[in-house]
Amino acid sequence: MTMSKIKIVDLHKSFEGKPVLKGLNLEIEAGETMVIIGQSGSGKSVLLKHIIGIMKPDRGQVFIDGEEISALPDEEIMKLSRKFGMLFQGAALFDSMTVAENVAFGLRRHTRLSEDEVQQVVRTSLEQVGLRGVEHLLPYELSGGMKKRVGLARAIAYSPEIILYDEPTTGLDPIRADAINCLILELKKKLRVTSVVITHDMKTTYKVADRIAMLYDGRIIEIGKPEEIRHSASPVVQQFISGRAEGPITEW
């Protein structure tokens, strides 16, 4: 049996007594793009932060390449963070640094490249996301879509094995959103990374997913290939993917 890249077993997490994740199980294979769909506030971002080790579970385990990240002390998790690149919802660029410094940040910490090489990689990473000549700008001078692309360049600069996307297309116009979708597909092809995308945008979902998992009520209630999800028998899944207000999901 081959080992999954990411394996989550019986994950529980609550905030101030309110349970968000209630025994979530999920396995993600190396090289695949897993899209996790679910309502806003259903705990998708929380799940992502458990995978990268920013949050620690109340109960349950998270394994990365067979290593239990949820049981490691912070210093060890920091070393493992080399494997991850994460695109944050609001891009989370460091606003005191220029674009180039932002993109170079992970590189300087995760690799031992010389300054010239760092600058070279910064340039190619930015080119990969379709940006040129913005190295010296500060984050507040960029548009929302550009910020996301810089955030993505920062995440891929040190060639991570796993890229986590937190709502990559939210807040972008349809054309920019599709450009980001194409980027996700391209990065997968070029870098052969494992990707985890969380979104509630069904267009993105169908375009980039190898498999889709639906998060509802703190658990993964259905998982499968896009076609399987499209023809799911579950009324909850059907309501979500067709975007109807009437149905079994009444909390919104």
Partner 1 sequence: MEKQVWIPFFSSFFCQLGQVYDLALRGFRAIFQKPFEKKNFWQQLEEVGVNSLPVVSLTAAFGGLVFGLQTYLAFHRYIGPGSESQGGPIIAVGLCRELIPILVGLMVAGRVGSAMAAEIGTMKITEQIDALFSLGANPVKYLVAPRILASMIMVPCLTLYGDVIGIFGGYTYNVLLMKVNKTLYLQNTLKYFEMWDISVGLIKALVFGLVIAIVGCWQGMTAEGGAEGVGRATTKSVVVASITILIMNFFLSKILPADL
Residues near partner 1 (CB under 8 A) are: 17, 49, 52-54, 74-75, 78, 81-82, 84-86, 88-90, 92-95, 105-106, 109-110, 154-155
Query: Cβ closer to partner 1: 17 or 174?
Result: 17
Kind of pairing between the strands at 59-64 and 67-68:
antiparallel
Residue 176 C-beta: closest distance to partner 1, Å: 20
Query: Cβ closer to partner 1: 184 or 229?
Result: 184
Q: How far apart are CA 140 and CA 142, in angstroms?
A: 5
- Residue 232 parent element (H or E): none
- Backbone φ and ψ for 243, nearest 5 degrees, come out as 65, 50
Query: Cβ closer to partner 1: 22 or 82?
Result: 82
Of the candidates 230, 222, 247, 228, which has an alpha carbon nearest to the alpha carbon of residue 38?
222
As to burial, measured by CB atoms within 10 angstroms (0-12 exposed, 13-18 middle, 19+ buried), residue 56 is middle
Residue 1 C-beta: closest distance to partner 1, Å: 30
Cβ atoms 143, 172 nearer than 8 A: no
Query: Cβ closer to partner 1: 62 or 214?
Result: 62
Cβ atoms 152, 160 nearer than 8 A: no
Q: Which residues contact 171 (CB under 8 A, 6 or more apart)?
A: 144
Q: How far apart are CA 194 and CA 160, in angstroms?
A: 9
Residue 118 C-beta: closest distance to partner 1, Å: 14
Kind of pairing between the strands at 194-199 and 162-166:
parallel
Query: Cβ closer to partner 1: 101 or 210?
Result: 101
Residue 110 C-beta: closest distance to partner 1, Å: 5
Residue 66 C-beta: closest distance to partner 1, Å: 21
Query: Cβ closer to partner 1: 107 or 214?
Result: 107
Q: In what order do the strands lie in the sheet with 59-64?
A: 18-28, 6-15, 59-64, 67-68
Query: Cβ closer to partner 1: 80 or 236?
Result: 80
Tell me the C-alpha to C-alpha distance, in Å, between residue 101 and each of 51, 84, 122, 244: 26, 19, 9, 44
Residue 142 C-beta: closest distance to partner 1, Å: 14
Residue 56 C-beta: closest distance to partner 1, Å: 12
